[in-house]
A and B are shown apart, each in its own frame.
Chain A
Amino acid sequence: MSGRAGNVRFVLVVSAPLGLTACNVWQSALDAHGQSAEAVLRQFYGFTALSAGIWLLVIFAMIGALRRRRSLAERLAAPLERRSRPEAFATIAVSTAIGLTAAILIGLTTWSFMTGRTLASLRGRETLTLLVTGDQWWWQVRYEDSQANRTFTTANEIHIPVGQPVKVKLESNDVIHSFWVPSLAGKEDLIPGHQNEIYLKAERPGVYRGQCAEFCGYQHAHMSFLVVADEIPDFEAWRSRQVATAASPTGEEAAAGQRVFLSRGCSICHTVRGTPAGGKVGPDLTHVASRKTVAAGTLPLSRGSLAAWIADPQAIKPGTNMPRVALDPDELNAVVAYVAGLQ
């Protein structure tokens, strides 16, 4: 019997820290750093505080009503007798409560409307436009520019300048996905055959995690991305690095890796700008090593995780459209050396 109790205690102790996971600020709407998210968060706290206050008042009034002793006159009075003084008091109290309720509801509706205006106020003021396309299970990001030679495509990592409104156009290649960066803004769906848009404005530099918020298939959970808010000079520097074509491989191993990359399955799906590899099906790998993660946020980027991912994608992300390409160990090492050098 004591063993059973010990087990229960063990489970309780082990599961207690699970309650703390909600405090992680890595991806949380309670950790707002964007204009939209801050407006929504203010409204959330306001609504919650006001509703809690009203709930307490109602509960106190109810407890008061239950505990109140009736006076002798009340107890002796005939049930249907009209007594003017308490009646008048009740009329005033109920009318005031109805008036307050209406005023609070109108006030909250107005507040909600004003929050909507704040969210919409970014529209038309954007200094940067992105086209984000959802795929099972990764994000393609196209930086648009009126100068064609300043446009480029990347994947799974979005850099934006701090304090600048950014327009994100959302499309999908297969099923419905949803673009959600809780620290910056709300959710917006990516719908096949239809273009949606959402506006982001980061107030502080930082790395904010985003996640697909609409179940989209087997690896929905592994469809995340990062939004990196940089100071404007850092952003411009990043952008000019991304616009450039891929660096030539340095060293014998990386050069061999490039030959494997171009002659085997890799180049059928992936683009590396500046080489003949021009596949449009998978993520653009021109500067893949400059990103922080591999496989849409599944693994942190390192040589090891690149090797693991290329060696057997189905073991890491079952169902992903990246196939296992039969490479012998030397070829695998060479390809990893080449890809890890694509800064």
Chain B
Amino acid sequence: MMRSAASTVLLAALLLTSGCEREKREFKSERAESGDRDEVALSSLSPGATPPQVATSGRAATFEGNAYHVAQGKRLFTWFNCNGCHAMGGGDSGPPLMDDKWIYGGTIENIVATIREGRPNGMPSFRGKIPDDQIWEIAAFVRSMGGNLSKNVAPQRNDDLNPFPAENRRPPSPPTTGGQPLPASRGTQ
């Protein structure tokens, strides 16, 4: 009896320590603009029986599992005027980011590539303008807006007055045709 109680306490204590990683702040950035280490596919189609071949650098976990990076991404999202076209995820002249429709792929590597290289019909290329680590942070935040990240790393809502819950806690807006959201669909978020 005593032993099982002790092991329960020990296990609970171990569980507590597992929460420490999510807040760890890693300030050192990589020296070079890495960029080319992820080979992403923009389509889910591929000839033959196998899906497209992709190769990832494994940096996704560093950014997606860390509350600091996601919160920084939220800050940079506004600072670099992403909300100028995408609003806070609901979409405006740019497509919405909090629905489940990903025109150029929804993994973090895809989103990083989209920000870095730009996409036709309006998405600018930020290569060389935003350092790579910050692009990863923004991409992690973009993923969090659709509720794709674990809730314990998703950023809280802003400090300023806001009648809505945080982006990642709102119901996703209905998918609309890319780049052309209907005015009516914007009122429903």
Contacts and interface: CB of A to CB of B under 8 A. Distances in A.
Interface of A: 174-175, 192-193, 218, 263-265, 268-269, 281, 314, 318-319, 321, 323-326
Nearest to A176: B159
Given A318-B27, A319-B25, A264 B128 contact: yes
Interface string B164-176: 0000000000000
Contacts of A314: 27-29
Contacts of B29: 314, 323-324
Given A218-B25, A268-B129, 13 more contacts: A174-B159, A192-B160, A193-B159, A265-B131, A281-B80, A314-B27, A314-B29, A318-B27, A319-B25, A323-B134, A325-B131, A326-B31, A326-B32
B131 A269 contact: no
Given A319-B27, A323-B29, A281 B131 contact: no
A314 B33 CA distance: 16
A204 B138 CA distance: 48
Interface string B27-42: 1110111000000000
7 contacts: A264-B128, A265-B129, A281-B79, A319-B25, A319-B27, A324-B131, A326-B31
Contacts of B80: 268, 281
Interface of B: 25, 27-29, 31-33, 75, 79-80, 128-134, 159-161
A192 B133 CA distance: 28
Contacts of A264: 128-129
A330 to B, nearest CB: 16
B114 to A, nearest CB: 18
A215 B137 CA distance: 25
Given A192-B159, A281-B79, A268 B130 contact: yes
Closest 6 A-B residue pairs measured CB to CB? A323-B131, A314-B27, A318-B27, A281-B79, A324-B29, A326-B33
B77 to A, nearest CB: 12
Contacts of B75: 321
Contacts of B128: 263-265
Contacts of A324: 29, 31, 131
A321 B129 CA distance: 15
A322 to B, nearest CB: 10
B161 A326 contact: no
Contacts of B161: 193
Contacts of A319: 25, 27
A199 B32 CA distance: 47
B140 to A, nearest CB: 15
Contacts of B131: 265, 323-326
A218 B79 CA distance: 20
B31 A269 contact: no
Contacts of B27: 314, 318-319
A268 B134 CA distance: 13
A162 B128 CA distance: 45
A316 B31 CA distance: 16
A115 B29 CA distance: 51
A269 B130 CA distance: 10
Nearest to A172: B159
A341 B11 CA distance: 60
Contacts of A193: 159-161
Nearest to A282: B79
A92 B33 CA distance: 86
A318 B28 CA distance: 8
Nearest to B68: A319
B25 to A, nearest CB: 7
A174 B133 CA distance: 22
A69 to B, nearest CB: 67
A326 B32 CA distance: 6
Most buried by B among A174, A263, A319, A325: A325
A275 B6 CA distance: 67
Nearest to A279: B79
Contacts of A263: 128
